Amino acid sequence: MGFDFDALDEIEEDSPYPEVCAAVSSIDDPEMPVLTFRMWLIGLFLTLTAAAANIFFTLRQPAPTIVASVLLIVAYPLGKFLAFSLPISSYTIPRWMTFGNGPVRFSLNPGPWNIKEHLLVFLENEVSVFWIWNLWTHSACDVSRDQGRSSTRAMGSKEIYDPLEFTHVDMYIVHISIYFLRRA
């Protein structure tokens, strides 16, 4: 009872929906650069900016939230701008800096901004805009239990060693469930 690898050739590559076929190509171009300097620069910049803004605005009401679709729209002109403005020349990292893997050549601008880079920037941003449950848990502990939290506990390193005890029952059920999940 093994997997039938011959059946993979018979799987239809196209979607049965014409809207999907019109919007998404089923042909992959392996020559498109993916992990480029532009992708990392734009992705990390937008990820850090959105995460910092969302954390800052989380405890304020009404809380504006930066969602990933907004960052997707912002990433496209940034990518096009960097594809236009970065130098096209190639750089070489010497052999002694690559731990014996030979000289490595790279370019800050390997070509036009493509859909693969744009998708990876979107995936980076999708991770950064999730709801920050740890912030709510620590805020509930500060307010309802009158217990301060140090910065190491906010990062979660000391939380493992803290005994499981509740001093008040006026915590929200969401905070209690997240509290148990974090200790699991």
- Summarize pLDDT for 125-171 with one digit per residue, the tens: 887 776 665 666 666 665 555 555 555 555 554 455 455 444 444 44
DSSP secondary structure, 74-136, as one string: HHHHHHHHHHHHS---EEEE-GGGTTTS--EEEES--SS--HHHHHHHHHHHHHHTS--HHHH
Residue in the structure block whose two tokens are 């991770």: 127
Residue 21 pLDDT > 50, yes or no? yes
Q: Is residue 2 part of a domain?
A: no
For residue 150, the SS3 value is coil
Q: What is the pLDDT of residues 87-120, one digit of tens each?
A: 988 888 888 887 777 788 888 999 999 988 998 9
For residue 159, the SS3 value is helix
b/e per residue 65-100 (b: at least 16 CB within 10 A): ebebeebbebbeebbeebbeebeeeeeeeeeeeeee
Residue where a domain terminates, one of 128, 147, 164: 128
Q: Between 157 and 32, where is the model more confident?
A: 32
pLDDT band at 175 (very low <50, low <70, confident <90, very high): very low
Q: Is residue 21 part of a domain?
A: no
Residue in the structure block whose two tokens are 């998404």: 24
Q: Is residue 16 part of a domain?
A: no
Residue 39 pLDDT > 60, yes or no? yes
DSSP state of 27: -
Distance CA 151, CA 138 (A): 11
- Considering the domain architecture, whether residues 101 and 169 belong to the same structural domain is answered as no
CA 130 to chain centroid, in Å, comes to: 9
Give residue 130's pLDDT.
67
Say if CB 133 and CB 49 are below 8 A apart. no
- Considering the domain architecture, whether residues 88 and 150 belong to the same structural domain is answered as no
Q: Between 19 and 70, where is the model more confident?
A: 70
Q: Is residue 20 part of a domain?
A: no
- Considering the domain architecture, whether residues 54 and 123 belong to the same structural domain is answered as yes
* Alpha-carbon distances, residue 117 vs 34, 108, 109, 139, 158 (angstroms): 5, 13, 12, 37, 38
Distance CA 33, CA 79 (A): 13
Supply the mean pLDDT for the chain: 74
Say if CB 79 and CB 113 are below 8 A apart. yes
- Please tell me the total count of domains within the chain: 2
Q: Is residue 144 part of a domain?
A: yes
